Chain A
Amino acid sequence: MDDLISVIDWSRAQFALTAMFHWIFVPLTIGLSLIVGVMETIYYRTREENMKKITQFWMTLFAINFACGVATGIILEFEFGTNWSNYSWFVGDIFGAPLAIEGIFAFFLESTFFAVMMFGWKKVSPGFHLSATWLTSIGVCISALWILIANAWMQRPGGMEFDPEQARNVMANFSEVAFSSTAMNKFFHTVLSGWVLGGVFVVGVSCWLLFRKSNEEVARRSIKIGGWIGMIGILLTMWTGDGSAVEVSKTQPMKLAAMEGLYRGDAGGQSLVGFGILNPSKTLDNDEDPMLFSIDIPYGLSILANHDMKSFVPGINDIIDGIELTENGDTIHGISYDERIALGREAHQALRDYNTAAKAGDENAKTLAAERLKANFEHFGYGYFEDASQAVPPVAITFYAFRIMVMGGGYLLLFFIIALLAVYKFKGLLKNRLVHILGVLTIPVVWIVSEAGWVVAEVGRQPWVIQDLMPTRAAVSAVSASSVELTFWIFVVLFSGLFIAEVSIMIREIRKATKQEILNR
């Protein structure tokens, strides 16, 4: 038992470490590929040699990031096969198909056109080169699309049927898997956040050039392009974030409740915690105030979750009890977690009976067990819990990560407004060293905000690997905890080395730009 808990913890820690490391590279690849695409398009239309050199400068930084990030995602697939073998088998082709398509796209589209983009300046026509740059950017987005489809299915499984004979989910409706509103929302929110990160990177590095009084023309023109893409990106990220909140309120209400530290919802409209400190003594069973301190926005959560200021937003205890309130405070009874646990147990028993019948070769018993399983399959995952409290995500991590993401997003909007005002209206700001320092310091901030977004999405859905169907405890392999611990520390060393390598190569390239004129190279 202890070893199983240890395996789960180490496997989760390892997966989180790998995913968060992978996510250092991905959003910058998404954002910078778009920015160099826009820069090269300007060069293509004007044939201005300076614009070509600016494009090439950023393309080199894009290449460094691309090279350092390549194949880091493959490690996640290794972990699926070794540490999460039950999960890998259970998800079947629902997960396998998008990942296979992603692999093909990533390899052929990105890699092929990436080579043309880097090597082809003097070898292919400007039009062909521009096409290769855009196809690289599109390839990056399509790769992200398939991964996010797979992730969205884990958050909101649908379009499949569980086949007890194969012990895996079989795709029944491709479009329901690929084009669910959860998948589309997740895709746009994630890709657009990459634009923001790319924008901050370009503006931040440009601020460093200005700080060093080097390549000021390159910096000013780059801030214009990076600033606009970042500004469009942050506005659209906020818009799609609103869509994500509505989506989460419908499909993962427990995650939303954890994001807000909300235990009991109010009839007639729920306020949003703008800023707050959670009460660590609060539990599901006591009546203590969940917040030690908070600044609330009246009706904010009802508007965010349902676009209706008077709507009821259930808290953690409400969801566990299966109750909702009308505007007048009348109670509507739904299904409680205790009931779901009982139905989940029935589903488990049906699967055990199926197993027994399969071993005995009793086809009739198999059919009956499969029917019982199908009737309760939507509650299957709840059968693993002894009590409802085990189905509650870590509230504090989800709550604070959500605030880092939202407040960070607000800061980034302000940052892009200042950047664009500096290049268009108040040009004196571009000479202000405090503005330069602000630009440089915002580079790590945007990564923290971006990673916090994933923490909200992934920690907030715990303990589920697949929402309502499979918790981490059922998904993990019966491997030894010490072997997972060992690979965890190997990854710590490997990833630290790779991170240092990327940052040092990147800094060397940027430093080179502060010592020589990019436009006269």
Chain B
Amino acid sequence: MRKFFSRAAEMYIDGFRSMTVGKKLWLLIIIKLIIIFAVLKLFFFPDFLGASCDTDTEKAAKVRQEISDESRRY
């Protein structure tokens, strides 16, 4: 089992070392993930219901109210 994991790790390390176009791709992936998770998710996409309700019961009551509210009509 240990041999399997060391061979797997070696494959990843050697793979990353010998990458050509891959280095640019990994840079792109890392920048993208940082923007998505550390900027967009954190600052622009909060959990809307979670922010105003603590429990599932409160969330259910809020949604029940919202979806049956007459102001939601066209």
**Which residues of A are interface residues toward B (Cβ below 8 A)?**
1, 4, 60, 63-64, 67-68, 70-71, 74-75, 78-79, 81-83, 85-86, 88-90, 115-116, 118-120, 123-124, 164-168, 348, 351-352, 354-355, 358, 383-386, 390, 470-471, 473-474, 477-479, 483, 486-487, 490, 494, 498, 501, 505, 508-509
Contact = CB atoms under 8 A, between A and B. Distances in A.
B45 A501 contact: no
Given A85-B48, A90-B67, A60 B21 contact: yes
A498 B73 CA distance: 39
Contacts of B10: 123
A60 B24 CA distance: 13
A505 B25 contact: yes
Contacts of A474: 66-67, 72
A352 B32 CA distance: 44
A478 B68 CA distance: 14
B15 A118 contact: yes
Interface in B15-57: 15-16, 21-22, 24-26, 28-29, 32-33, 35-36, 40-41, 44-49, 56
Contact of B44 (A71, A355, A487, A508): A487
A148 B55 CA distance: 30
Contacts of B41: 78
A262 to B, nearest CB: 24
A72 B46 CA distance: 18
Nearest to B72: A474
A486 B60 CA distance: 29
A67 B40 contact: no
Given A119-B11, A494-B35, A68 B28 contact: yes
Contact of A487 (B14, B22, B40, B59): B40
Given A75-B40, A479-B48, A490-B40, 11 more contacts: A1-B71, A67-B29, A68-B25, A83-B48, A90-B63, A167-B63, A351-B67, A358-B64, A384-B74, A477-B48, A483-B44
6 shortest interchain CB distances as A-B pairs: A119-B15, A78-B45, A85-B48, A67-B25, A351-B68, A167-B60
Nearest to A124: B11
B61 interface: yes
Given A166-B56, A385-B73, A63 B63 contact: no
22 contacts: A63-B22, A64-B21, A67-B26, A67-B29, A71-B36, A74-B36, A81-B49, A82-B46, A82-B47, A86-B67, A116-B11, A119-B12, A165-B60, A167-B64, A348-B68, A355-B68, A358-B61, A385-B73, A385-B74, A478-B66, A505-B25, A505-B28
A505 B21 contact: yes
A157 to B, nearest CB: 15
A487 B45 contact: yes
A483 B51 CA distance: 16
B29 A70 contact: yes
A386 B72 CA distance: 11
Contacts of B28: 67-68, 498, 501, 505
Contacts of B49: 81, 85, 88-89
Contacts of A509: 21
Contacts of A490: 40, 44
A72 B29 CA distance: 10
A255 B21 CA distance: 45
Contacts of A166: 56, 60
A390 B74 contact: yes
A220 B23 CA distance: 30
A164 B67 CA distance: 11
Contact of A355 (B21, B22, B59, B65): B65
Contacts of B64: 164, 167, 351, 354-355, 358
Contacts of A63: 21-22, 25
A89 B59 contact: yes
A64 B59 CA distance: 41
Question: In the complex, which of the residues B29, B41, B66 has the most CB atoms of chain A within 10 Å of its own CB atom?
Answer: B66
Contacts of A168: 60, 63
A386 B56 contact: no
B56 A384 contact: no
B66 to A, nearest CB: 5
B47 A505 contact: no
Nearest to A383: B73
Given A78-B40, A78-B41, A487-B40, A115 B12 contact: yes
Contacts of B22: 63, 118
Contacts of B56: 166
A277 B22 CA distance: 48
Contact of A167 (B7, B14, B26, B67): B67
A126 to B, nearest CB: 15
B67 A115 contact: no
Nearest to B74: A390
B19 to A, nearest CB: 8
Given A90-B67, A385-B74, A470-B67, A64 B25 contact: yes
A351 B22 CA distance: 55
A494 B60 CA distance: 35
B39 to A, nearest CB: 9
A301 to B, nearest CB: 30
A403 to B, nearest CB: 29
A384 B70 CA distance: 8
A367 to B, nearest CB: 16
